[in-house]
């Protein structure tokens, strides 16, 4: 299992466009990818679930990745976050 935290830098948080990009990115991996904000945890491969978290600018989120490609998924999701969130 891999985990990492990220502080959202985008001024509007995770709205429709970045949520869509995140779901698409996460869906490219076989591993289970969960996105957490506070006590809430959702499947990062599902657009509506991501948006239901209501993530705003400066919120801290946590990714939990578990599965056969967890190492590469974790590394690539970190890069994705820096570039898109």
| pLDDT for the residue 54 | 95
4, 6, 15, 76: which one is catalytic? 15
Count of residues making up the chain = 85
Q: Is the pTM of this model over 0.75?
A: yes
Spatial distance between the Cα atoms of 8 and 40, rounded to a whole number of angstroms = 16
Q: Hey, which bits of 1-85 come out as E strands? A: 2-7, 32-37, 40-43, 60-66
CB 26 within 8 A of CB 61: no
Spatial distance between the Cα atoms of 51 and 42, rounded to a whole number of angstroms = 10
pLDDT per position as a tens digit, 38-73: 999 999 999 999 999 999 999 999 999 999 999 999
Domains of the chain: 2-84 (3.30.1340.10)
| pLDDT for the residue 53 | 96
pLDDT per position as a tens digit, 10-27: 999 999 999 999 999 999
CB 73 within 8 A of CB 31: yes
Active site residue 29: no
């Amino acid at each position: 299992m891999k985990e990492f935290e990220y502080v959202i830098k985008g001024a509007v948080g995770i709205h429709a466009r970045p949520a869509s990009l995140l779901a698409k990115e996460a869906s490219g991996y076989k591993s289970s990818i969960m996105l957490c904000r506070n006590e809430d945890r959702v499947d990062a491969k599902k657009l509506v679930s991501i948006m239901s978290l209501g993530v705003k600018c400066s919120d801290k989120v946590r990714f939990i990745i578990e599965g056969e490609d967890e190492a590469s998924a974790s590394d690539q999701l970190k890069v994705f976050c820096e570039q898109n969130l």
